[in-house]
Amino acid sequence: MATILLIDDEAAVVTVLGKLLRSRGHEVLDTTDIDQAAAWAAEPRVQVVLTDVRMGEVNGIDLMIRFRQARPDLPVLLMSGEPSVEIAVQAARAGAFDFLVKPLKLDFLDRAIREAVGQGGDGGGGLAPVVPAEFPRRHGLVGSAPAFLHAVDQAERLALADVPVLIRSEAGAGAGAMADLVHRLSRVSDRPFAVAHGEDRGESELEDLLFAPRTGWLSGSPPGTLYLAGLQEFAPGLQERIRQVLAPESASDAAGPRVRLIASIRITGDGDVERIANSQLLNMLGAFAFDVPPLRSRVQDIVPLFVENLVRKEDAPAPVTVETEARAMLERYFWPGNLTELREVAEAVQLPGDRVVGAATLRDLLPEPEPGGSEFAPVPTARSASVHGQSLERFLRQKELQDLDRFLRIPYDTSADFDRRIREILARLRDRMAVSP
C-alpha cells in the first residue's frame, strides 16, 4: 500500500477521504494547512500527493509545482469538483500524474494511486503482480465495471422470467456468454442449451435445426434453451417462421415451442441496432431486452480480462505483472473487436519467464493508428448520457473539447464518462507536452 499526502481546504473532505484511503490499507498524511503539506511533501516516505485544484486563495497546480521543485519525481494527483479542459491541460503541462473529478469514483482513484506509486516508487514503471485467482467475478465472468454489472443484473432478472430474451451487443462483446448466463440462472438450467448461429449455418441446416418434425427445437423437441446468435443473419423466411411461433395466437398450440428462446442482435458502434428483415419479430423480442457493453466501456476490466486470457491454458495460473505503460496501452486502445480482439491479442503474446508484460510486448500488437485510423477513429452518435448532471453529448459539443479531441485523435465515444475522457486527454498530452493545442 502507499503513503499518501492528502490536501484539501475543506476539513470534512480531508476527514472522509482520509478515512476511506486508510480503510483501503494506505497510510495517509492529511491536512488543510499548506505549510504543513509542503513539509510533508519533502519527506521521502510520501509516495503520492492527492490535492484539490481550488483551495481558497491557493491553486493546487501552483502547489504541485512547489512540491516538485524539491522532489521532481513525486507523482501528484489533482482533484476538482468543477472540471474543465483548460484546467486539465494546465495540469498536464505542469506535470500532474492524473486528474480526477469530484465526486471521486473509487475505481478511478484506486487505479490512479496504483499507477502513480508504480511509476514513482520503483523507477521502472512496474506494478504489483495481477493475480488471476483474485479477479472480481459474477457467476464466473470476470468484471467489476458498472456497465458490466448492470448487464449481469439484467440477465439475472430476466433469467427467472419465462419470456423470450433479446440481447443487444456489438460484435465480439460477449452476447454468447450472457445468453449462457441467462440459461444457467433459469428454471431450465438442467436442460439442454442449443446454439444456432446465423452466420455459420446455411438456411437449410438452420431450418432443420429449428423446424424439423419431432426433432426441431421449435417444433417438438424436449424442453431447454435455444439461443439464436446473430438474428440479423437469419434468412427472412426463417425470421417469419420464428415470429409465427412466438405470436400470441400460437401460445396455446399444442405443437408450439417448449423451449426458452434467447436471441442476440448486433448493434453498431454508434448504438444503432442493425436492421433485420422482420421488424415485427424484433419488436416482439425487444419487450424483454438488455445491452451488453462494449469493452471500451469497461476500462477497469481490460487488464484483468487480458491476463485471464493470457493464462487461460495454464492449469494453475500464476500472477502476471503488467507494467504501467502496457496497462495504459491496453486501456486507451479502442478495441473495435471487443472481447474477441482482446483474446486474440492475449493469445499472440509470448509470456516471458519473469511473467512481466511491458509496452514493447504490446507495441506491435496494438500499433498507434495513423490519423483517421479505425482504432481511434471518431464514433459519431446521436445518443447522450448523463454525466454530472449534464448531457455528455452537449459537453462534447463544446468547441474546446472537440478541438482537443480532434488534435489528440481521441474517440468521440459517449459511452465513456468524463473521468475516462480526462484520463485519455492527459495520456495523449504527456506525449505531446511541447505541442500547443
Question: Is pLDDT larger for residue 401 or for residue 148?
Answer: 148
Inter-residue contact 220 to 214 (CB < 8 Å): yes
We report the CATH number of the domain holding residue 327 as 1.10.8.60
Contacts of 70 (CB under 8 A, 6+ apart): 41, 42
| Domain closes at, from 343, 363, 383 | 363
Q: Is residue 373 one of the residues assigned to a domain?
A: no
Reported as a single tens digit per residue, the pLDDT across 74-119 is: 889 988 877 666 777 777 777 788 888 877 877 778 888 887 886 5
In this structure, are 75 and 164 located in the same domain?
Answer: no
Q: Is residue 422 one of the residues assigned to a domain?
A: no
Domain span at residue 109 reads 1-125
In this structure, are 197 and 271 located in the same domain?
Answer: yes
Coil, strand or helix: which one is 375?
helix
**Distance between CA atoms of 77 and 52, rounded to whole angstroms?**
9
In this structure, are 257 and 230 located in the same domain?
Answer: yes
DSSP label of 96? -
| CA distances (Å), origin 137, targets 80, 263, 321, 407 | 32, 24, 20, 38
Which residue type does 177 have?
A
| Domain closes at, from 56, 90, 125 | 125
DSSP label of 267? B
Q: Is residue 410 one of the residues assigned to a domain?
A: no
Q: Is residue 395 one of the residues assigned to a domain?
A: no
Q: Is residue 372 one of the residues assigned to a domain?
A: no
Domain count, the chain: 3
In this structure, are 209 and 118 located in the same domain?
Answer: no
The reported pLDDT for the residue numbered 258 is 66
Reported as a single tens digit per residue, the pLDDT across 134-176 is: 888 999 999 988 889 999 999 999 999 888 999 999 999 999 9
In this structure, are 224 and 176 located in the same domain?
Answer: yes
Q: Is residue 397 one of the residues assigned to a domain?
A: no
Lookup: cell for 363: 507495441
We report the CATH number of the domain holding residue 12 as 3.40.50.2300
Q: Is residue 382 one of the residues assigned to a domain?
A: no
Q: Is residue 404 one of the residues assigned to a domain?
A: no
Burial degree of 204 (CB within 10 A; 0-12, 13-18, 19+): exposed
Q: Span 392-396, mean pLDDT? A: 37
Which residue type does 126 have?
G
pTM exceeds 0.85: no
Reported as a single tens digit per residue, the pLDDT across 7-56 is: 998 899 899 999 989 988 889 999 999 999 999 999 989 999 999 988 87
In this structure, are 34 and 95 located in the same domain?
Answer: yes
In this structure, are 278 and 301 located in the same domain?
Answer: no
In this structure, are 282 and 311 located in the same domain?
Answer: no
In this structure, are 113 and 176 located in the same domain?
Answer: no
**b/e for 225-246, b at 16 or more Cβ within 10 A?**
bbbbbbbbbbeeebbebbbebb
In this structure, are 271 and 313 located in the same domain?
Answer: no
We report the CATH number of the domain holding residue 191 as 3.40.50.300
Helix then strand then coil, in percent of the chain rounded to 5, is 45, 15, 40
In this structure, are 26 and 107 located in the same domain?
Answer: yes
Is the confidence at residue 229, as pLDDT, over 50?
yes
In this structure, are 161 and 112 located in the same domain?
Answer: no
